[in-house]
Amino acid sequence: MTKDVFDAMRESDSVRSFKPEPIPDPTISRILEAACWAPSAGNLQPWYFYVVSNAELKAQIAAVCPGQEQVADAPMVVVVLADPAKSNDRYGERGAQLYCIQDTAAATQNILLAATGLGIDSCWVGAFDEIEVQRLVEAPPRLRAVAIICLGYGDERQHNKERLRVAEVTKILH
């Protein structure tokens, strides 16, 4: 039983402290499946998801994510990688610089929402040295690491989601 999608959006706040308890394999599978259901330009799916639960490797990755101790703390992290060349082949520069980034962002958001729906806390981390992360996860040179997602059972509960009001960011054109 998963949460209603609106409840999941409201509840999916960033969690930066985790219990050591691992995520069950079937739950991980469902989260990765959600990533793969994301939309992508031309349905190219220019993404890869590298799952890291090895403590030593997580610590090495955390060391190249300035101030992001949650990367080592989380029982599992997913490194989301984009394949700009794949998007470039079909859409040129716009594909490489925009579409594949949007595609991987959509997949990342699916991961966050699916995780919340399944009772797993998360944090999207963008502060990292791309080249070093790519080296540590042994990604082929054509891939670009675009996000690291920390996943696990949170050690804190904040629920202080602050957002601009709809009216502040919306313009209805007639």
Binding site for ligand FMN (CB under 6 A): 13-14, 16, 68, 123-127, 161
Strands 47-52, 144-152: pairing is: unpaired
Comparison of 75 and 173: residue with beta carbon closer to ligand FMN: 75
The three state secondary structure string of 50-69 is: EEECCHHHHHHHHCCCCCCC
Smallest distance from ligand FMN to CB 108, Å = 8
Contact present, 155 and 17 (Cβ < 8 Å): yes
Smallest distance from ligand FMN to CB 129, Å = 12
Comparison of 1 and 102: residue with beta carbon closer to ligand FMN: 102
Q: Which residue's beta carbon is nearest to the bound ligand FMN? A: 126
Comparison of 129 and 139: residue with beta carbon closer to ligand FMN: 129
Closest to 111 measured CA to CA, from 174, 23, 170, 171: 23
